């Protein structure tokens, strides 16, 4: 498991029913591509987050399959429709099988 | 007029410099394979995909790109000049507010970034942009 992996997500606290909101996510992760070599010329093994999903009350908003060409500290910005009050769940899945999760509540006024 | 030894050497050195700069052949095969896998061999005829990327990226380690295709189910992003051209696939669920996403990618050098969108009616749309990279994003 990569060290010090901290997800950060920005979601508005409130929205109107059916409103489309912008969500920004960032997670600190080295995203070692498997292309780089260390000082002795040995290949540094690949260690990346290979999948990111965002769901709202269990329904998918976005599901991203990620490859090593995604930069260090993967950043995503996308839009979601908010039909009712509920919870956004953000999940990142690491190559080593560990998952990182964050949730955000949103209230429909 | 006969050439001196020095002149002869200079001429030989000059001709040696005309090294054939082997044009970097566009290795389209891996990219084409990935596109074929994504489309299932279907022809790319549709429109409506916008790919936003900078014309010049100073640092290839983190190049901001945005894809936007209203009505798309999925969008694949490819960096044709990378050792592995695939960058990622965005799948949009029922609660996606718009079929757009932006992220930051690595580019090994100046190259064409390609996006293919799979529309909900089964057609495919393509967008591409050339990005000039000053410092490549691969290797140490």
Question: A46, exposed or middle or buried, with CB in 10 Å at 0-12, 13-18, 19+?
Answer: middle
Signed CA dihedral, B41, B44, B49, B53: sign only: positive
For residue B17, what pLDDT is reported? 42
For residue B89, what pLDDT is reported? 96
Question: What does the domain layout of chain B look like in residue ranges?
Answer: 9-131
pTM of the model: 0.82
For residue A83, what pLDDT is reported? 94
Which residues are bridge partners to A81 per DSSP?
A20
Average pLDDT (A89-99) is: 94
Residues of B in contact with A71 (CB under 8 A): 61-63, 103-106, 137
Q: Which two tokens stand for residue B2?
A: 């006969």
- Domain total of chain A: 1
Q: What are phi and psi of B67, to 5 degrees?
A: -115, 145
Quickly state the pLDDT bin for A77 (edges 50, 70, 90). very high
Instruction: Examine residue A81 and state whether it is found in any structural domain, yes or no.
Output: yes
* Residue B139 in this model has a pLDDT that exceeds 60: no
For residue A51, what pLDDT is reported? 96
For residue B13, what pLDDT is reported? 59
How many CB atoms lie under 10 A from the CB of residue B123?
A: 17
For residue A29, what pLDDT is reported? 92
CA distance B26 to chain A (A): 19
Suggest the residue from B88, B91, B105, B112 to mutate for an interface test with chain A (most A CBs closer than 10 A).
B88
Strand B96-105 relative to strand B63-68: parallel, antiparallel, unpaired?
A: antiparallel
CATH number (domain holding residue A14) = 2.60.40.10
Angle at B98 between CA A49 and CA B74, to 5 degrees: 50
**Of B10 and A40, the one with more pLDDT:** A40
A58 Cβ contact partners less than 8 Å away, ≥ 6 residues apart = none
**Of B76 and B43, the one with more pLDDT:** B76
Distance of CA B103 to the CA centre of its chain: 15
How many CB atoms lie under 10 A from the CB of residue A91?
A: 16
Measured between alpha carbons, how far is residue A41 from residues B17, B112, B139 in Å?
32, 29, 11
Instruction: Examine residue A24 and state whether it is found in any structural domain, yes or no.
Output: yes
Suggest the residue from B66, B93, B113 to mutate for an interface test with chain A (most A CBs closer than 10 A).
B93
Structural domain span for residue A73: 6-108
Q: Which two tokens stand for residue B118?
A: 């799979």
**pLDDT tens-place string over residues B20-63:** 333 344 444 788 889 988 998 888 888 899 999 999 998 999 99
Alpha helices in chain B (DSSP H): 5-17, 28-39
Quickly state the pLDDT bin for B10 (edges 50, 70, 90). low
Average pLDDT (A62-66) is: 96
Residue of B nearest to A54 (CA): B93
Q: Is the separation of the CB atoms in A41 and A104 below 8 Å?
A: no
CATH number for the segment(s) B9-131: 2.60.40.2470
Mean model confidence pLDDT for chain A: 93
**pLDDT tens-place string over residues B94-124:** 999 999 999 999 999 999 999 999 999 989 9
B70 Cβ contact partners less than 8 Å away, ≥ 6 residues apart = B48, B98, B99
Distance, in Å, from the CA atom of B133 to the CA atom of A73, rounded to the nearest integer, reads 20
CB contact under 8 A, B88 and A66: yes
B135 Cβ contact partners less than 8 Å away, ≥ 6 residues apart = B58, B59, B60, B61
Which residues are bridge partners to B111 per DSSP?
B131
Strand B63-68 relative to strand A59-66: parallel, antiparallel, unpaired?
A: unpaired
């Amino acid at each position: 498991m990569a060290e010090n992996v901290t997800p950060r997500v920005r979601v508005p606290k409130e929205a109107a029913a059916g409103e489309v909101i912008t969500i920004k996510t960032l997670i600190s992760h080295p995203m070692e591509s498997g292309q780089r070599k260390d000082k002795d010329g040995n290949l540094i093994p690949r260690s990346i987050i290979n999948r990111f999903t965002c769901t709202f009350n269990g329904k998918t908003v976005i599901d991203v399959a990620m490859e090593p060409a995604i930069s260090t500290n993967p950043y995503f910005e996308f839009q979601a429709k908010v039909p009712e009050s509920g919870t956004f769940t953000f999940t990142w899945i690491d190559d080593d099988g560990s998952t990182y999760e964050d949730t955000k509540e949103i209230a429909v006024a | 007029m006969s050439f001196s030894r020095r002149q002869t050497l200079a001429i030989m050195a000059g001709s040696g410099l005309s090294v054939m700069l082997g044009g970097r052949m566009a290795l389209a095969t891996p990219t084409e394979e990935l596109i074929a896998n994504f489309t299932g061999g279907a022809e790319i005829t549709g429109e409506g995909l916008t790919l936003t990327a900078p014309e010049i990226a100073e640092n290839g380690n983190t190049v901001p790109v945005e894809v936007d295709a209203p009505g798309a189910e999925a969008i694949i992003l490819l960096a044709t000049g990378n050792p592995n051209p695939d960058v990622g696939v965005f799948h949009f669920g029922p609660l996606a507010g718009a079929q757009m996403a932006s992220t930051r990618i690595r580019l090994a050098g100046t190259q064409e970034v390609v996006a293919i969108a799979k529309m909900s009616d089964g057609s495919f749309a393509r967008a591409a942009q050339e990005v000039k990279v000053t410092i490549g994003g691969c290797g140490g």
